[in-house]
Every structure is written in structure tokens, then in C-alpha cells.
């Protein structure tokens, strides 16, 4: 089994991965009061298992990642993915659900089907984005119109091909239709709500989530049927996310600091 020290050394060899890990560790949603600028400190704050899940997840998405262009914004994609994972995890804690790495990972990976579409169906993806920008159709409706399949289904298929656990496959493939979940409905509901919460946060909404709304089945599953409670959570999470954005902007400029304890 890989030790925490070995994992830290692996992360430190990749500056892009280091920056993403430090972004997550510095989130106010983890509640640590000081800026975390080294990977070994991030391991202490996040825990070995959580950090391992983050590394695996970001590496999987990174293998599909493309440069930003006129119809795909890589930074917006990553910001939304990270925010969704963090918000899903925080919601699980606030609702007293068992918190584990799978909640965060499900939120982080929920839209990985979009990376597949952008990379392997580029012309079709451009058409989808064009439809979304020029009409009232949602991204899902545009996907169905052009491809006859959605990014959620594509992501679920890929997760299954990568031999991910069944409940994560379900969370990815059903994050827009959580009422269909049977293996772990709570996990799917949390991932769905993390996605929608992220869309409500200033700077975290993504073009590919245009028109997304809370699913009634997910809210019922999590006992969040009271609209006032939802608005209360949105307001609270928005305040934390604004603090998050400020701290992440600082972290973006210092990824090299995360390697210092592992040099030589």
C-alpha cells in the first residue's frame, strides 16, 4: 500500500496536480483557518484516503482534458467540478450523512462525460454548444437532439469501463435523474445537489448546466423539501464559496510551494 509520504512525492512531481490538490485543501469548506501551501500539510488536513481519491479522480479527468477553446472552457470545467465535489461533501456533513471520499469523488467526476464529448465528438460538441447559446434548450436537451445520448450516460459508461464501484457509476450516470437511483440513492442525491448548488454559486455555474434545477426526488430523499431551508443553504454556501474563490486565487500563484518538502 502506498504510504502518505510516497503519495506526497508522487503528487509533487506534477505541478498541475499539486495546484488542484492545494485548491481543494484550501477550501473553507474544510474549515482549516490557515493557508495550506505544502502537500504534506494537505495530507494532514484532508487525510490519506481522501487525498488518494482526489488524486485518482483528477488524474482520470486530466487524461481526457483538452485546452480551452471557443466552446470549451477548461478552467470553468475544473472550477465547477471541484465546487460540486466540495459542496456535495459539505452538504453530506451538514445533513449528518456519512462522509467519505465517494461523495466528493462523485461530485468531482459527475460531468466527466463532457470531457469525452469534447475530445472525441468535437464537431457534435460544437453543435451542442451552439444550440445552447442560440436557443432556450438546456444542454441535456441539445445533447439528446444532436447525439441521442447525454453526457451523464457517457460518463456512466466510461466509469463502468474504468471499473469504478457501481455506486459511483450510478452517481455519475444519474446525477441529472437521481430519482432513478437504486444502489445508493443518497449518494446520487448528494452529488446532484452538489452540482445544482455549484450552479447557484457566483463564478461556479457552467454553460453545460444551463437550466439545471433541483430534482424533487433528490430533495425528498435528503429531507430538503422546505424551500426556505434550501435558500438558507445557498446563502451560507455562497458566502463560503466567495471566501473560497479568494483563497484559491492566492493558491493558483504558488503551486511550487507544495513540492518543497519532497525535493531531493
The span from the CA of 59 to the CA of 155, in Å, is 15
Which three cell numbers mark 260?
A: 518543497
CATH code of the domain containing 166: 1.10.3210.10
What are the pLDDT digits (tens) for 86-110?
899 889 989 998 766 788 889 988 9
User: How many domains is the chain partitioned into structurally?
Assistant: 1
The span from the CA of 157 to the CA of 191, in Å, is 17
Query: What pLDDT was estimated at residue 56?
Result: 74
- b/e per residue 151-184 (b: at least 16 CB within 10 A): bbbbbbbbbeeeebeebbbbbbbbbbbbeebeeb
| 66: Cβ contacts below 8 Å, ≥ 6 apart | 72, 74, 115, 118, 119
Where are any strands of DSSP class E within the chain?
Answer: none
More confident residue, 116 or 257: 116
Half-sphere exposure of 198 (CA within 13 A, CB side): 33
pLDDT class for 254, splitting at 50, 70, 90? very low
Query: What pLDDT was estimated at residue 4?
Result: 66
pLDDT class for 253, splitting at 50, 70, 90? very low
Which three cell numbers mark 247?
A: 483563497
What are the pLDDT digits (tens) for 44-83?
777 777 777 777 777 776 666 666 677 788 878 888 888 8
Other C-beta atoms within 10 Å of 149: how many? Answer: 14
| 135: Cβ contacts below 8 Å, ≥ 6 apart | 142
Four-CA torsion 156, 157, 159, 163, nearest 10 degrees: 130
Query: What pLDDT was estimated at residue 12?
Result: 78
Query: What pLDDT was estimated at residue 264?
Result: 28
Which three cell numbers mark 60?
A: 482520470
Nearest to 79 by CA among 233, 223, 244: 244
Please give the C-alpha separations between residue 23 and each of 29, 67, 232, 252, in angstroms, as whole numbers.
11, 20, 25, 8
Segments forming the whole domain that contains residue 51: 4-262
Amino acid at each position: 500500500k502506498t504510504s502518505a509520504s510516497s503519495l506526497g512525492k508522487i503528487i509533487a512531481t506534477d505541478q498541475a496536480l499539486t495546484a488542484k490538490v492545494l485548491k481543494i485543501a484550501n477550501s473553507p469548506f474544510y474549515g482549516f483557518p490557515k493557508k495550506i501551501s505544502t502537500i504534506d500539510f494537505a495530507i494532514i488536513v484532508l487525510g490519506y484516503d481522501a487525498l488518494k481519491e482526489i488524486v485518482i479522480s483528477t488524474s482520470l479527468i486530466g487524461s481526457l482534458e483538452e485546452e480551452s477553446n471557443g466552446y470549451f472552457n477548461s478552467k470553468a470545467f475544473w472550477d465547477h467540478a471541484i465546487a460540486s465535489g466540495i459542496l456535495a461533501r459539505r452538504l453530506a456533513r451538514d445533513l449528518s450523512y456519512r462522509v467519505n471520499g465517494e461523495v466528493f469523488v462523485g461530485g468531482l467526476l459527475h460531468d466527466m462525460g463532457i470531457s469525452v464529448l469534447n475530445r472525441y465528438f468535437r464537431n457534435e460538441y460544437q453543435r451542442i454548444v451552439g444550440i445552447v447559446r442560440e436557443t432556450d434548450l438546456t444542454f441535456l436537451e441539445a445533447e439528446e437532439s444532436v447525439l441521442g445520448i447525454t453526457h451523464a450516460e457517457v460518463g456512466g459508461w466510461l466509469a463502468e469501463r474504468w471499473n469504478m464501484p457501481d455506486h459511483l457509476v450510478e452517481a455519475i450516470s444519474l446525477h441529472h435523474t437521481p430519482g432513478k437511483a437504486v444502489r445508493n440513492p443518497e449518494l446520487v442525491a448528494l452529488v446532484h445537489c452538489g452540482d445544482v448548488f455549484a450552479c447557484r454559486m457566483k463564478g461556479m455555474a457552467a454553460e453545460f448546466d444551463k437550466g439545471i434545477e433541483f430534482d424533487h426526488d433528490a430533495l425528498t430523499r435528503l429531507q430538503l423539501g422546505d424551500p426556505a431551508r434550501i435558500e438558507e443553504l445557498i446563502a451560507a454556501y455562497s458566502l463560503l464559496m466567495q471566501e473560497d474563490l479568494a483563497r484559491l486565487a492566492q493558491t493558483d500563484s504558488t503551486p511550487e510551494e507544495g513540492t518543497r518538502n519532497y525535493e531531493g
